[in-house]
Homo-oligomer: A and B are copies of this chain.
Amino acid sequence: MTDTARAMEMRAFGEPLEMVEYPLPQLRRGEVLARVVAAGVCGSDVHIWRGHDPRTPTPIILGHEAIGRVERIGGDKADINGELLAPGDLIGWDRGVVCGECFFCIVKKQPYLCPNRKVYGISISSQDPPHLKGGYATHMVLDTRTKVLKLPEGTDPEVLVSASCSGATAAHAVEQCDICQGDTVVIVGAGSLGLFALAFVLNRGATRVVAVDVEDSRLELAAEFGATATLHATQTSPEHRLKVVNELTHGRGADFVIDCSGYAPAIADGIRMCRRGGTYTMPGIAVPVGETPVRFYEDVSIRNLIVKGVWVSDTGHFRQAVEVVLSNRYPFDRLVSRTFHLEDANDALGATERREVLKAVIKPSEQ
């Protein structure tokens, strides 16, 4: 047992992360010190590193997707199932920490909109003690208000890291879709977010799911997850894609289109693939994409269309994501394409930026 933690810290946007050491702190009541056993490299980590996310201060330890083992606890603390935590427990947690007291947290029960929400690895600086607020580190200190979920022993932490972010966001998106057994869904973008969305819609009773992406490997994985049809986004035309969807739906169009790509030109096509009375939702839009022209009469009004923004997620969504992984109905282990040592975090970021990997995972410490 050591008394210091090591972390790859970002001192300035776009500069290589640097290894730093911080002392392991005394814990306040309700805090948890976790040893990080796996930390996902999210596509948005690249955006953050490049300075595109206005929420991010410097210095910061990146990494908002992490799985850890309890090292120490400040007094007693229970997980969201009421199970008391003990040293050695394998745990995940909601990456966002909310105030639990505001209009959004309490009255509207939309904590993902809490104006006081802070996110590990995204919006909490490493400047002040206890410093360890990101997953690219051997240890993290979890705030008192962090919602923790104890995981069953034997679970592979690498596979679960995505549940914290893309899994939870996909859960949120699909929760907004009132899918009925037999519905048809189009998922645009078959990365981690899209594959989670695919699993969730199948688990809501969607019978026909069409996946669209620009990479064959992702489309193949989508098929393994259970997509009924896969369509290459650049090797097919919008007209062809619409035709495929219409053939599956007696000419009506998809009941739901879920955009997980965040690619602005896909919006108009996506909207047009919805049937009258359908829903278009866009969990993939996580950074500004400029203006998109919408023909409100033709595309929205006469089609009684519902368009829904999806912003981040809450603890319930995180739990749903963990549950869908643990259900063993889908090959989530196929998401992780490469693991990295902590000191190689810059390589992990680079591989993610160059899209060489579907999901890179950093393993700061032994499980």
A residues with CB within 8 A of B: 78, 80-83, 100-104, 106-110, 112-113, 115, 145, 147, 171, 175, 180-182, 200, 202-205, 207, 250-252, 264, 267, 276-277, 282, 285-298, 300-311, 314-316, 319-320, 322-324, 326-327
Q: In the complex, A94 Cα to B311 Cα: how many Å?
A: 29
Taking A106-B315, A288-B295, A300-B307 as known contacts, 7 extra A-B pairs with beta carbons closer than 8 A to each other, sorted by chain A number, are: A80-B101, A108-B316, A110-B277, A112-B304, A276-B311, A291-B294, A300-B308
Q: A292 to chain B: which residues have CB within 8 Å?
A: 293-296
Q: Answer whether A316 and B109 are a contact pair too, CB < 8 Å, given A103-B81, A282-B301, A301-B285.
A: yes
The 3 closest A-B pairs by CB, nearest first: A182-B323, A300-B309, A291-B293
| Smallest beta-carbon distance A320→chain B, Å | 4
- Given A101-B80, A203-B204, A323-B207, also A306-B307 (CB < 8 A): yes
Q: How far is the CB of A263 from chain B (nearest CB, A)?
A: 11
Query: Are the CB atoms of B113 and A315 closer together than 8 Å?
Result: no
Q: Given the complex of chains A and B, what is the CA–CA distance between A296 and B83 in angstroms?
A: 30
Distance (whole angstroms) from the CB of A66 to the closest CB of chain B: 19
Which residues of chain B are within 8 angstroms of A102 by Cβ–Cβ distance? 78, 80, 82
Smallest CB-CB separation from A250: which chain B residue? B81
A287 and B298 CA atoms in complex are apart in Å by 9
Known contacts A113-B276, A205-B320, A309 near B309 by CB under 8 Å = no
**CA A107 – CA B182 in complex, angstroms?**
11
The answer to whether B297 and A301 have CB atoms under 8 Å apart is no
Instruction: Report the Cα distance A144→B270, complex, angstroms.
Output: 38
Report the separation of the CA atoms of residues A308 and B108 in the bound assembly, to the nearest whole angstrom.
20
Chain B residue with Cβ nearest A252:
B103
A162 to chain B minimum Cβ distance, whole angstroms, is: 15
Q: Which of A103, A251, A302, A310 has the most CB of B within 10 A?
A: A103
Let me know if B205 and A147 touch, CB within 8 A: no
B291 close to A324 (CB less than 8 A): no
Contact A311:B302 (CB < 8 A) given known A200-B181, A252-B103: yes
Cα–Cα distance between A322 and B182 once the two chains are bound (Å): 9
Asked if A277 contacts B108 (CB within 8 A), the reply is yes
23 residue pairs of the A-B complex, CB under 8 angstroms, read A80-B107, A81-B250, A82-B102, A101-B147, A103-B250, A103-B252, A109-B316, A113-B304, A182-B319, A182-B324, A207-B326, A285-B297, A285-B300, A285-B301, A286-B301, A291-B293, A293-B293, A301-B309, A301-B311, A304-B309, A306-B307, A306-B309, A307-B307
Q: How far is the CB of A43 from chain B (nearest CB, A)?
A: 15
Complex Cα gap A109–B306 (Å):
16
Separation in Å of the A20 CB from the closest CB of chain B? 31
Shortest Cβ distance from A72 into chain B, in angstroms? 19
Judging by beta carbons under 8 Å apart, are A80 and B103 in contact? yes
Whose C-beta in chain B lies nearest to the C-beta of A318?
B107
Task: Report the minimum CB–CB distance from A327 to chain B (whole Å).
Answer: 5
Check B147–A106 contact: CB distance below 8 A: yes
The answer to whether B295 touches A113, judged by C-beta atoms less than 8 angstroms apart, is: no
A293 to B308, CA, bound (A): 16
Chain B residues whose C-beta falls within 8 Å of the C-beta of A310 in the assembled complex: 301, 304
Residue contact B101 to A78, C-beta cutoff 8 Å: yes
Which residue on chain B has the smallest CB distance to residue A293? B291
